[in-house]
Structure 1
Amino acid sequence: MRARRPGSDQDRLLVVGLRNPGPDYEGTRHNVGGEVVRKVAYGESFKRAARRILAEVVEADIDGRRAVLALPATFMNESGGPVSGLARYYGIETNRLVLVHDDIDLPFGKLRFQAGRGAGGHNGVASVMRSLGSRDVWRLKIGVGRPPGRMDPADFVLRPFSKAERADVDLMVAEAADTVRRFIAAGGDEAQQYAGEATRRLGIATEDGR
């Protein structure tokens, strides 16, 4: 992957890792989307976005295609402003936008790549859809499982993955990053197939969500 300078490109893609910013949220379930996008960036340094857009970005060439990798600098529930600002600035249509995010309704270890659905209760996704005025975005959902017992889901997603989970999380993040690269190189249908294959390779998803 090579870092690229700004420039117009009708085929450019925007990949956004939804997260909460700051060290207090690193390693939490809610921030796994940000982990994936950093993995896609191959260690490139994220820099402040232009025009006071509250996000950090890397402009890159991945498998011969140009992409903007982005991490909003707002809290999760306010992700819409930065994402819509980036889409306008780079001239990217919603069908070339990918949101990477956690999903408590998917079993831990399951990846799902899809487009054209509702937010499914994810406040970060809902914020983006409201700001864009469209649900026509690609999403890579990363299953983090359901909260145990009667734990509030909002508390659950703000908890770090356990030490026992961390090795599996690292594998899941790597497979998710490869799914994003597959989308950039070959499109949505290929990425959907790859996500399913990746879930089977991981072999950690269970029907009860844990």
Structure 2
Amino acid sequence: MDPWLIVGLGNPGTSYAGNRHNVGAMVAELLADRAEATLKAHKARARGAQIRLGTAGGGLPGPSAVVAVPSTYMNESGGPVAALMSFFKIPPERLIVVHDELDIDFGAVRLKRGGGEGGHNGLRSITKSLGTKDYLRVRVGIGRPPGRMDAASYVLKDFNATERKELDFLLPSAVDAIDLLVQKDLPDAQNVVHAW
């Protein structure tokens, strides 16, 4: 069985670490932590780790996966993702991209396969590099910017104090959603996650 590739999107460096745009990378870090793994530099211009996801029947280790965060800026995410898929021989149908989503209320997690990029430069770069939109997405809601704030400015701001407290619930929910996505098929996982 092919492994899964789970990619959390974000921008590199400490100045971006707390940004709303980096919530995908935050989820990937937590997923690695849960698996007691450390993301290490990979030649594909990413930090990654090979892990097992959850537990299979009879208490056996769950499916194998590579969890990764590109080391490039968001708008260049496609190169590292394509390189990881090539290196680990992972087909597009076993790629899960975790990213921030303006069109979903803060705190909600939604699952889908394919569709548009909604102006998200990381998704646009991945779609261009892979030549397909047909990959799974874990969309982590960050809500719309207040008032007339520009969306690009909003995503590059840190979560506010109230949101930071909620991240303690949001990030684990997104990790749980990934587990469900690999253990069940997409419609079954959506039925559970979209009801949270």
TM-score, normalised to structure 2, is 0.91
Report the equivalent of 1:38.
29
Deviations 1:154-178 (A, max 9, x none): 1100101111111112211110111
Tell me which of 40, 53, 69 is aligned to 2:44.
53
Superposition deviation, residue 21 in structure 1? 0.9
- Distance in 1, matches of 2:49 and 2:18, equals 21
Report the equivalent of 2:150.
152
Report the equivalent of 2:17.
26
Report the equivalent of 1:67.
65
Deviations 1:159-198 (A, max 9, x none): 0111111111221111011101111222323322232133
Superposition deviation, residue 72 in structure 1? 0.3
**RMSD across aligned C-alpha pairs, in angstroms?**
1.2
Secondary structure of the 2:68 match is strand
Task: Give ranges in structure 2 of 5+ residues lacking alignment.
Answer: 56-61
Superposition deviation, residue 19 in structure 1? 0.4
- Distance in 2, matches of 1:175 and 1:128, equals 24
- Distance in 2, matches of 1:71 and 1:141, equals 16
**Does the Cα contact within 8 Å between 1:40 and 1:181 map onto a contact in 2?**
no
- Distance in 2, matches of 1:112 and 1:144, equals 12
Superposition deviation, residue 111 in structure 1? 1.2
Question: Partner letter of residue 39 of structure 2?
Answer: F
Secondary structure of the 1:142 match is strand
Q: Is 1:179 aligned to 2:177, yes or no? A: yes
Question: Partner letter of residue 92 of structure 2?
Answer: T
Identical-pair percentage: 41
Question: Partner letter of residue 131 of structure 2?
Answer: G
Q: Is 1:163 aligned to 2:161, yes or no? A: yes
- Distance in 2, matches of 1:54 and 1:194, equals 34
Secondary structure of the 1:23 match is coil
Secondary structure of the 2:129 match is helix
Report the equivalent of 1:11.
2
- Distance in 2, matches of 1:74 and 1:92, equals 20
Task: Give ranges in structure 1 of 5+ residues lacking alignment.
Answer: 1-9, 199-210
Deviations 1:128-156 (A, max 9, x none): 00000000100010110111111111110
